[in-house]
Structure 1
Amino acid sequence: MTSIPRMQIGFLFNHDCIHQIAHTAPIICELVALGQDVSVVTSCDAQERQVRAIIAGCAARVRFIHIDISRLSRAINVVAKAVLPFRRIANLRENVGLFARFDALVVPETTSALLRSHFNLDVRLVYLPHGAGDRAIGFRDVTRFFDLVLLPGTKTRDRMLAGGLVRPGHHAVIGYPKFDIIDMGARPRFFDNDRPTVLYNPHFDPVLSSWWDMGLGVLEWFARQDDYNLIFAPHVMLFRRWLHTSVEHRRIRCRWPIPERLRNLSHILIDTGSTRSVDMSYVLAADIYLGDASSQVYEWICNPRPCIFLNSHGARWQGNPSYAHWNMGQVIDRVSALPRALAVAQEQQAAFARHQRAAFAATFHIEAGGSAARRAAREIVYYLLQDKRAAA
């Protein structure tokens, strides 16, 4: 690939938070190294800062573009954001002319498919899922609108193939670019004691998340005891909004604040959305995972450790691929069962460790000495070259 033609490749980050950035940003420097012209398109300053931090080595060779929406759209968003991602959609619709300049646009989420399905954009769309979880929403028909889908491992690939969401020549397994920028051997410390540390990582979905019906009960229980530390680091979107709408489950719920009495305890760390919530700091620091539907559990099992899952919505999860991760630990359906689950977590881990290792191997393609970001860059360039030859 030393004499390949230069192409214009854009990386679009169009979300309210920064949690998607690490899934595609590591690819940028690899494309620059292949001689490609790369632009980073962001919709807020926090996104640009995060991208620059990740690609510091090549940032000077990358063009940064900030997009925004009209004054009228901003006014509509004040009301509309409660029920749909209006600002994200408006950013796509109002910047189609900019996106049309690229040969390809690389994205970590599926809202961008609207560029093809509704806004008639004739640009190759490259999609890398931001995470490697099991939720049904990650396996929707919208995936078919993407020209190239780059996947973390065989688990996701096989499920997408079975659903007819990807097709030969238009997908590839490349691994997990986020792992390329993480020191997987790090063990951060956040408490000045030797108690086991539990990471509570609820999702934001109004139905699937344990936060709505069990979350405060979990925090209250940890506040009263002195055997464990707790890191409360939910999905960053949970505390981004007061009102959460699930289009998937047709449910709207209001999120209440955390009582002040729980915020200043020496054995509880509460982080509702900092960079540490998305850079695996807490995943690498804790001893026991407590969660529900977040794909972060698959990052957790990079080092097999006990998991406890909260079934707050009465899910019939056995045999359901959308709950496959619940096979990696204990599943409980009430807060009163938590003390016992924690007490036997290390003892029962022996029964779950083999499954966790197998699940990690199926979820993430890893090559010794290899780089997921480099494989992704090569797949993108190869696909675009083939596409141009076919069109000639």
Structure 2
Amino acid sequence: MKIAFIYIAEPYQCYHTASVASALAAIPGCDVTEYYSFPETIDHLARIRRALNVPPLPLLPFPRSWKANILKRARRLDQERLVILRENVEELNQYDVVVATEYTAGVLKDMGLNGPKLVLLMHGAGDRYVNDEHLVREFDLTLVPGTKVETYFQDKGLLQNGASRIVGYPKFDVFEAVRRENAVSFSNERPFALYNPHYQRVLTSAPACMDTIIKGFKAQNDYNLVVAPHIKMFHKGFGIRERLLQRQQSPEVLVDTGSNAMLDMTYTSQAALYIGDVSSQVYEFLAIPRPCIFLNPHKLPWRDDPYFLHWTLGDVVDDPADIMPAVARAEERHAFYRPMQEKLFRETFGEPLLGASQRAADAIVSFMNNV
């Protein structure tokens, strides 16, 4: 069975799927090849495989036209992704299975993918509406982390043309392997809070809250601060946004705009406090229940909205002026939220926490043996 894993976005995708590709490659009869779009993917895949102590897999760049290169230079990465997929359909048609972790790959069927079975290895925690989630219908097999996401997809009618399997979250397997590499430390040895804003303009708290948070943490003595936005926040702006943010760094404020630690759970595993808006990384943080604060400067009507379910796991702050008072009481408030954190984490990722990579690989083989 010939299987292609496709990495069509930034290297964060590696941490969701590389361990599954390796588990599949170890199963007799499975021939796995990986394709990448971003050159940085090469180093991340090598890093993961060293940590897992498994051999590298055949790795090929997606051939790129002049049009794709222009779009990349202009940082029109969503359009670039579609161009690359369209230009490589025939290359992928030689496989029995194509595995992706982006909903976007569902467009391959309309582009002429007619030989392989298309498998979605979902990443994220499923609380947020994504405008291309309708493409889940195009996948022949959808691998989800837990019951929460599977139920959501079923209720939305997104699994009507395919099958689903609950496998857990392979990224936890990768983190277990790489976690010894990175320890976050500050010279003052205080614990640190993580500020992890999303990138979508209508949801992100960064424009309204970033300066208030950084100034507030510099003025108190309980926590250090790590500012680690979603990597896609820096798609546009030709690097200006990164440089402006990095100027805010100080001995008690670490600003990260692109290191491995943004991608591999280094910050979410070690932070004492999470501050964010709609990023699914909060669920990675809750592998160990800890205090959370959620920011709502847009004053969205979030209560009873399933897309904001994670906002029930900590205090929600509408006014930036109230952020630092919420930080001061976060530890005390955590006892109220901890039971719900534990419950929702289990529903999101299932149990046991580790072993999802092998479960996903076995699910793909089982599915193919029965079609």
TM-score normalised by the chain length of structure 2: 0.92
- Code of the residue aligned with 1:316 in structure 2: it is P
User: Does residue 1:378 correspond to 2:362, yes or no?
Assistant: yes
Map Cα deviations across residues 207-266 of structure 1 (whole Å, 9 max, x no partner). Answer: 1110122222222322333332000011111123228xxxxxxxxxx9585356512x10
- Code of the residue aligned with 1:108 in structure 2: it is T
Distance 2:342 2:131 in 1: 22
The answer to whether the Cα contact below 8 Å between 1:127 and 1:150 also exists between their aligned partners in 2 is yes
The answer to whether the Cα contact below 8 Å between 1:216 and 1:258 also exists between their aligned partners in 2 is no
Instruction: Point out the more displaced range, 322-331 or 90-99.
Output: 90-99
1:66 is matched with 61
- Code of the residue aligned with 1:88 in structure 2: it is R
**C-alpha deviation, 1:120, in angstroms:** 4.3
Distance 2:132 2:151 in 1: 11
Q: How many residues align?
A: 366
Normalized per residue, the structure richer in helix is: 2
Of 39, 46, 52, which residue of structure 1 is paired with 2:33? 39
The answer to whether the Cα contact below 8 Å between 1:223 and 1:262 also exists between their aligned partners in 2 is no
Of 282, 302, 313, which residue of structure 2 is paired with 1:297? 282
Going from structure 1 to structure 2, the CA distance change for 1:319 and 1:87 (only over 3 Å counts) comes to same
User: Does residue 1:217 correspond to 2:203, yes or no?
Assistant: no
Of 321, 324, 334, which residue of structure 1 is paired with 2:309? 324
The answer to whether the Cα contact below 8 Å between 2:104 and 2:132 also exists between their aligned partners in 1 is no
Of 91, 99, 109, which residue of structure 2 is paired with 1:98? 91
1:270 is matched with 255
Distance 1:138 1:11 in 2: 23
The answer to whether the Cα contact below 8 Å between 2:142 and 2:164 also exists between their aligned partners in 1 is yes
Going from structure 1 to structure 2, the CA distance change for 1:192 and 1:168 (only over 3 Å counts) comes to same
How large is the Cα RMSD of the aligned pairs? Answer: 2.3
The answer to whether the Cα contact below 8 Å between 1:202 and 1:210 also exists between their aligned partners in 2 is yes
Distance 1:289 1:222 in 2: 13
- Code of the residue aligned with 2:115 in structure 1: it is D
Percent sequence identity is 35
The answer to whether the Cα contact below 8 Å between 1:126 and 1:146 also exists between their aligned partners in 2 is yes
**C-alpha deviation, 1:76, in angstroms:** 4.9
Distance 1:179 1:258 in 2: 33
Distance 1:358 1:149 in 2: 24
The answer to whether the Cα contact below 8 Å between 1:117 and 1:145 also exists between their aligned partners in 2 is no
Going from structure 1 to structure 2, the CA distance change for 1:53 and 1:255 (only over 3 Å counts) comes to closer
Query: Where do residues 181-220 of structure 1 align in structure 2 (5 Å cutoff)?
Result: 181-183=174-176, 188-220=183-215
The answer to whether the Cα contact below 8 Å between 1:306 and 1:349 also exists between their aligned partners in 2 is yes
1:153 is matched with 146
Of 299, 304, 315, which residue of structure 2 is paired with 1:314? 299
Going from structure 1 to structure 2, the CA distance change for 1:260 and 1:320 (only over 3 Å counts) comes to closer
The 3-state SS of whatever aligns with 1:75 is helix
Distance 1:219 1:68 in 2: 42
Distance 2:85 2:246 in 1: 39
User: Does residue 1:135 correspond to 2:135, yes or no?
Assistant: no
The answer to whether the Cα contact below 8 Å between 2:93 and 2:113 also exists between their aligned partners in 1 is no
Distance 1:288 1:337 in 2: 16
Going from structure 1 to structure 2, the CA distance change for 1:278 and 1:262 (only over 3 Å counts) comes to same
1:233 is matched with 228
Distance 1:272 1:189 in 2: 15
Structure 2: runs of 5 or more not aligned: none
2:268 is matched with 283
Runs of 4 or more above 4 Å deviation: 76-79, 184-187, 254-257
The 3-state SS of whatever aligns with 1:302 is coil
Distance 2:143 2:156 in 1: 16
User: Does residue 1:21 correspond to 2:14, yes or no?
Assistant: yes
Structure 1: runs of 5 or more not aligned: 1-6, 244-253, 388-392
